[in-house]
Chains A and B, each alone.
Chain A
């Protein structure tokens, strides 16, 4: 089983690479377009549907600084695919180089248990969990900005900060009463 290794390759000069993983490929494209507009560093965006990544692209793939799992809350498959993909990552990635991004969280057709499951997953891996609005252009820009902040830290562009340090501060935490039945 070939796994993605965070330190297998040398980093590119002044370049940060991010891998967006989304099984449905709805949000990837627009988010990628917003991400590459960053000017202070070269942002390299790679898209994938799920892990494992194809071996034939191994050579051309840069060192991935941040893996983002985009989970559409309205689809169970999206969550399952992300969960299944996690085992193809070296554990080194979980020291601050993975984050989860949830879309459609405001949709009324989303069962509350699914969001809880995503939170549980993110908390168990000590990864940050971001919420994004994919319908509006402003929501996409906001999501891209927040990702860039994490990406810059993950790629080592922020002095005196390391990805592990950042993830210790921003990791998802579970509310203590998550297992209790809610009354709404």
Chain B
């Protein structure tokens, strides 16, 4: 109580009468405090160290506090409206700042929950899609089981082969595009050196592209697996052959260095 009154004094410009009243109130409270303190010192403490008794003491103290609280009548801080205004203002400001803290805390929590909700919804969506796909698969399997026949199987396999062929086609096209873009024929690079062009062009006319070299190698490996070697002639540009050899895509014949074959990928 004394502390509370003292902090009010510092707060703002109070009228003299109010200050005097407050001071008097403080004095009164302090005198009361001193009296209580003396009483406390005078009474003989008979606390004991046993936990049993400490527990009982604690219970007694709590009960006394409860009783006091129940019988206590709320008291006005002071009669002066000036003091009351100040005290009220301070209290309201404190409450305001506390409520602001609560508000920002709640907002942060809400945002977090919203984020979590979005994540969960995304997860749910994914899971429903998975469920749908699985259901479709189950349905298909059941249908197949019901009307399985030679004809339908044949049809199925034909379809699958068709699909695979289309897929292979796209793969080959893709490969061709890549080769064309990144490993062009040497004649395209020889643009700026015009002086040499006449001599170069004659040779490069006969050169084949890297994709053709690969094609020859692959065809040879598939058509005659017992003798997959291809003879390196002048239409193969030597740097390409060197590259294929270096990266292990092609292997040189052990005895004849003019022969190469496709590396064993399978």
Q: Kindly state the separation between the CA atoms of A124 and B55 in the bound complex, as whole angstroms.
A: 9
Contacts known (A10-B33, A90-B47, A124-B51); A95 close to B4, Cβ less than 8 A:
no
Q: Is A107 an interface residue (CB 8 A)?
A: no
Contact between A10 and B37 (Cβ–Cβ < 8 Å)? yes
Q: Is B57 an interface residue (CB 8 A)?
A: yes
CB-defined contacts of B34 to chain A, threshold 8 Å = 10
Determine how close the nearest CB of chain A comes to the CB of B62; give it in whole angstroms.
6
Please encode chain B, from 62 to 102, with 1 for each CB lying within 8 Å of some chain A CB and 0 for all others: 10010000000000000000000000000000000000000
CB-defined contacts of B58 to chain A, threshold 8 Å = 94-95, 126, 164
Closest to A160 in B: B69
Closest to B38 in A: A10
Q: Is A142 an interface residue (CB 8 A)?
A: no
Q: Which of A7, A10, A91, A162 contacts B47 (CB 8 A)?
A: A91
Contact between A91 and B49 (Cβ–Cβ < 8 Å)? yes
* A-side interface size class: 20 to 34
Contacts known (A91-B49, A95-B58, A164-B65); A7 close to B7, Cβ less than 8 A:
no
Q: Which of B4, B40, B65 contacts A162 (CB 8 A)?
A: B65
Q: Is B239 an interface residue (CB 8 A)?
A: no
Q: Kindly state the separation between the CA atoms of A162 and B58 in the bound complex, as whole angstroms.
A: 13
Contact between A95 and B61 (Cβ–Cβ < 8 Å)? yes
Please encode chain A, from 47 to 84, with 1 for each CB lying within 8 Å of some chain B CB and 0 for all others: 00000000000000000000000000000000000000
Contact between A94 and B7 (Cβ–Cβ < 8 Å)? no
Contact between A8 and B41 (Cβ–Cβ < 8 Å)? yes
Closest to B36 in A: A7
Determine how close the nearest CB of chain A comes to the CB of B207; give it in whole angstroms.
68
Closest to B10 in A: A14
CB-defined contacts of B235 to chain A, threshold 8 Å = none
Q: Kindly state the separation between the CA atoms of A11 and B4 in the bound complex, as whole angstroms.
A: 14
Binding site for A on B (CB under 8 A): 2-4, 6-7, 33-34, 37, 40-41, 45, 47-49, 51, 54, 57-58, 61-62, 65
Given A13-B6, A91-B47, A165-B65: 16 more A-B contacts, CB < 8 Å: A7-B37, A7-B40, A7-B41, A13-B3, A14-B2, A14-B6, A41-B3, A41-B7, A90-B45, A90-B47, A95-B57, A126-B58, A156-B3, A164-B61, A164-B62, A168-B62
